[in-house]
Chain A
Amino acid sequence: MPRRRFLRIFGASTAAVAGGLWRTARRSAAVPANLTLAFWNGLTGPDGRVMEGIVADFMSQHPTIKIEQQQLPWTDFHTKMLMSIPAGQAPDVAIMHTYEKPRYVQSGALTEFSDADLQALGFQQKDFAPRAWDGGIYQGKRYSVPLDIHAMCLYINNPLFKSANLWVDNEPKAPRNQAEFLAACQALTKGDHWGVAWLQRGVGWAFQMLLWQNGGDMFDAQGEPTLDSPAAIEAMQFIQDLNKKYHVTPEGITGNPAEAFQTGKIGMAVHGDWLTPAFVAANMDFTVVPAPTFFKQRAVWAGSHQFYLPVQRRPDSAKREAALVFIKWISEHSLAWAQGGHIPARTALTATPGFRARKQAVLLTDGSYWHFMPAVPKILVEESLITAAQEQIFLGRATPKEALRSLNDQIKRARI
């Protein structure tokens, strides 16, 4: 090859390679070297373990970003958040739901996601389930972006269903309404087996679902509680009747939801889909089906985990950028997150065979009945007080009417 031509080719390719390297170097410079993000959430259940694994994966693929995850039970979580943010000690990224926005916005605790942020994330409305996407907006501003949707479901203990003759065509005969539910409970309750463990230790989410199914509401248009309405009392009475009247649940307060069902002595459980990984890990033979309609209209308690970027006393754009990288990555890998029992908010992922094989995939059929918790400032007060109120009822220290009335008064008195 003539020398001049060789030199020309050599020069051009060198320039091309150098130019490519130069661009790559610039892009890497855009990701800051070695920073740490504080990531808080309330995922203390079995799904929390899954999130730990996902975060570890993220860190192994992004050696320059270290994530310090802190998981607190939800009530403690909100306390620490609402105290830390004004103190300038906010985490860099957090996961919450959709209903906390009024309370947090009231405290000036949340930053908005700008259009530029959404572009950096590559998030577009068409890629997400509408409820999850819209759930990020409050008073016309976007304060969060979606991760998943989770819903209440019915867990069925297969062996117990089989032995109670509730098995048809290789599938459990899942109850769809109150009458079928009670019949199933009674068929399942024998010996030391119980029909259902109504999972009292928690924030009374199942009660909320029954309330909505009975046509009632938790809060009125002014954000004041309506938890002592006749619909609410009737819903709570039904829960209590399961124990006192029909005797299909164990006496006393069940300590821990997962544990009760995991003993294998309970036929059914009504709880959120996030318990699925625990039962899978325990090698239980169980089925997930949509929750029954206990009262006059169908409604399914549901929620959506969303990513938030709290207000920082000293905003750090490098950290915010890294947080967006983090959020984007998790969202793109939310099929792995589905191991936690949830439904990814990305509609493309829910159509994949990988997701369809999951136990909670069946809950997608409930899409039009999903009922989120109300976004009012006092919702957090309700969450912190409902457990004690329910316990009063199950202990027999108060009738549903009395306990709900005093709970309602307590929430009204709260000066938020």
Chain B
Amino acid sequence: MTPSVIVRPIDAVPPAARRAMIAVQRREAWSAYALLAPYLVAFLAFMVVPSSYGLFLSFTDFRLGIAHPHWTGLSNFAYVLTDPLFRTTVTNTIVFVLESTPALIVIPLALAVVLNQRLPFRAFFRGAFFLPFTLSVTVVSICWWWLLDPNFGPVYFYLKELGLHPRSWISTPALAMAAVVIATVWWTAGYNMVLFLAGLQEIPFHLYEAARIDGAGGWRQFWTVTLPLLRPTTLFVIVIQLIASFQVFGQVYVMTNGGPGNGTRTVIQYVYETAFVQLQMSEGAAAAWVLFVMILAFSLAQFKLLSGHTEY
């Protein structure tokens, strides 16, 4: 017997059962709140409250030990934005991003493509390239700082044996930045490689077969099958890579401490030093928010530009 009117499921339920249903819903909601609460507490306490407090601070003249900070409007932002040192750190950070990101896309991708094939010792190679990612930023920095030591390190030693006389990277800003970039690439290439490998695994084998049957060689297969289908992964890697690069701090701090002559000082180091060395905490908070706005603007622009179609 087909119903002649649409009956809502809830209407078809007798009142007693309806009360039971509402009780079930309420129980579900309370369970949800119970499960969500611990994380929300942490989220509010260590993310929402500090961010808001930091934003508030950046509009005041707060100093350690001062009981009552005063509202100073945009003064701290003006201080940061007109600070030549801040501008230098922004430039350095952008240089770092531009130098490290392509290397951290191309090299891991190349490694992933090669390692995606059935080769002996594949697992060992995969492990070798990923290994640096398990190290802390200090170990990585010390590694490369020592490896590149102009007096006693192998790199300079062998280059000198070859008759070259490279300038000391400690006293040359461009080389110092290059050293930091090399250390960073060595550190995180393995991680991106694993992400690419996972993406490559998703590509159905029959597409390669089809391309091969159509006469496409290895290189052609890469362009027509691999790259397009890898797009979601590539976009993901690019986005997280860029955001992470903007926040570079540890390896610069340990390897060059921002030198020589402010040549590698990055924005995070500026925030750190303004707030925790010069103890100008409200200016430091303002600088952190300026950085946030920069990253946000950049990410939004990126989404617009690269989103496009992600069809499979």
Contacts and interface: CB of A to CB of B under 8 A. Distances in A.
B201 to A, nearest CB: 47
Contacts of A75: 277
A253 B83 CA distance: 26
A395 interface: yes
A251 B277 CA distance: 31
Interface stretch (B15-23, B205-213, B253-261): B253-261
Contacts, number: 69
Nearest to A403: B261
A252 B167 contact: yes
B84 A406 contact: yes
Interface string A375-396: 0000001001001110110110
Contact of B261 (A83, A255, A397): A397
B14 interface: no
B54 interface: no
Contact of B170 (A255, A410, A414): A255
Nearest to A82: B279
Given A108-B65, A381-B278, A415-B280, A392 B261 contact: yes
A413 B79 contact: yes
Interface residues of A, number: 29
Contacts of A251: 171
B71 to A, nearest CB: 16
A107 interface: yes
A391 B176 CA distance: 13
A79 interface: yes
Contacts of A410: 84-85
Contact of B173 (A79, A381, A395, A409): A395
A252 B171 CA distance: 6
A388 B261 contact: yes
A79 B64 contact: no
A398 B263 CA distance: 12
Interface residues of B, number: 28
Interface in B251-271: 258-263, 265
Contact of B64 (A83, A381, A392): A83
B261 A79 contact: no
B276 interface: yes
Interface string B59-71: 0010011000000
B259 A413 contact: no
Given A252-B168, A253-B260, A388-B259, A414 B278 contact: yes
Contacts of B278: 381, 384, 414, 416
A83 B276 contact: yes
Interface in B48-77: 61, 64-65
Contacts of B258: 388
A107 B261 contact: no
Given A391-B261, A397-B261, A414 B171 contact: no
A354 interface: no
Interface string A349-393: 000000000000000000000000000000001001001110110
B262 A392 contact: yes
A391 B259 contact: yes
A414 B79 CA distance: 9
B277 A384 contact: yes
Contacts of A32: none
Contacts of A409: 84
Contacts of A19: none
A108 B65 CA distance: 8
Interface in B138-174: 151, 167-168, 170-173
A166 B112 CA distance: 65
B64 A86 contact: yes
A86 B262 contact: no
Interface in B88-133: none
Contacts of B172: 252, 395
A84 to B, nearest CB: 11
A388 B171 contact: no
Nearest to A392: B261
Nearest to A252: B171
A83 B278 CA distance: 10
Nearest to A380: B278
Given A384-B277, A384-B278, A395 B64 contact: no
B277 A395 contact: no
A185 to B, nearest CB: 21
Contacts of B64: 82-83, 86, 107
A395 B279 contact: no
Interface in B168-202: 168, 170-173
B277 A388 contact: no
A83 B171 contact: no
A253 B61 CA distance: 38
B88 to A, nearest CB: 10
A302 B83 CA distance: 33
B84 A79 contact: no
A112 B280 CA distance: 26
Contacts of B273: 384
A376 to B, nearest CB: 15
A381 B278 CA distance: 7
Contact of A395 (B85, B171, B276): B171
16 contacts: A79-B276, A83-B279, A86-B65, A384-B277, A384-B278, A387-B259, A388-B265, A391-B171, A391-B259, A394-B261, A395-B260, A398-B261, A409-B84, A410-B84, A413-B79, A416-B278
Given A388-B262, A397-B261, 19 more contacts: A75-B277, A79-B277, A86-B64, A107-B65, A252-B167, A252-B168, A253-B260, A255-B151, A255-B170, A384-B277, A388-B258, A388-B265, A392-B261, A395-B261, A410-B84, A413-B79, A415-B61, A415-B280, A416-B278
For the complex of A and B, list the 6 residue pairs with the smallest distance between their C-beta atoms, beginning with the closest: A252-B171, A391-B261, A392-B261, A253-B171, A391-B260, A79-B277
Interface of A: 75, 79, 82-83, 86, 107-108, 251-253, 255, 381, 384, 387-389, 391-392, 394-395, 397-398, 406, 409-410, 413-416
